[in-house]
Amino acid sequence: MKITVLDLFSGIGGFHLGLERAGFEVESYFSEIDKYAIQVYQNNFKEAKYVGSVTDVRREQLPRIDVITFGSPCQDFSLAGKRKGMGGERSSLITEAIRLITECRPRFFIWENVKGTFSSNNGADFWAIIQAFANIGGYRLEWQLLNTKWFLPQNRERIYLVGYAPNGSGGQVFPIKETIEHFNVSVGQTKRESKSNKTSHTQTVKKNIGNMGSDDTYIKVKSATSTGYEVAQEGDSINYSVPSSKTRRGRVGKGVASTLDIACNQGVIGYSRDARGKVISYHEKQEANTLHSSSGQGGNTDQYVRQSKIRRLTPMECERLQGFPDNWTQYGTEGLISDTQRYKMCGNAVTVDVVKAVVEKIKSVI
């Protein structure tokens, strides 16, 4: 089925790719202001048409729009931010998306945002947004907090809200339940095993986060727990953001990465290289160096990672953890993209597999 999509705050095209994987042929009009994201989007979707900033997009310049997707800026809602909520300059841009839904009247729309939207200004911001959607009229609204780790090994909770014209069938998009499959993650292979006794299979997909060469290797990571540390073993991720915090815990992801951020303060016990490029693998039990204030805060993170026998996730691994093909962000229309920008774009992206699951449910209803 061919659809025309207005992809707002489009990033690197997670909504577009999720729609395609759900079976749609997508004609895309996309809006974005980050020049690197624009380049990557255009490089991967050659026929997509760029329409500028969301504040400049008008109904008159567009064809008939079937779907509007948007993951509007979330910094003012984020639990990690200053929590300005709808009063913040960036998060208030959602009103532009609401304006375009009102003008274009798509068949359905999807909004993605951070979990902190629920609690921003004691919940008042979220309900103001719901009221604004309801005031458009003619759409059934549903929402759910979904986690990327139901589909891929990244702990990333996001609100997904959909609006669609009900057809009288009584069907619902949500709830979407956790996938029946779980992941055993290692370099080069992901074992995806069904929890049902009926099926079990191994799929080689060259993902997701790294491993060590010895089953009994572990690293102790300083953390505000009763023991003073968390234990990371083969296949576990380590988050080294805000290293000077004395209250931070949950630094170790057991078989999953914690939420990717724009700076990629994410590491994994894994192989490293010496100054001559020789591969070094670590098989002895050891304790990580104390997280210090320069690590992950604009200081020499790479030095910390090397000393601690932890390596940073690669841009390709971040792409995989968000459901994108390998090297999706490596090139833009103007050439090679830096790793710094690749990390930022992956941290800002929507998870393709989650979008696909949501769209498939929408298809079943409308």
DSSP structure string for 261-287: -TT--EEEE--EE-TT--EE---S-EE
DSSP structure string for 95-152: HHHHHHHHHH--SEEEEEEEGGGGTGGGGHHHHHHHHHHHHH-S-EEEEEEEEGGGTS
Cα separation, 291 vs 301, in Å, equals 10
Residues 6+ apart with CB under 8 A from 206: 188, 189, 320, 326
The bridge status of strand 25-30 relative to strand 2-8 is: parallel
Cα separation, 284 vs 136, in Å, equals 61
DSSP state of 10: -
Residue 74 annotated in active site = yes
How far does Cα 178 stand from its chain's mean position?
17
Which among 74, 104, 264, 318 is annotated as catalytic? 74
**Residues carrying an active site annotation:** 74
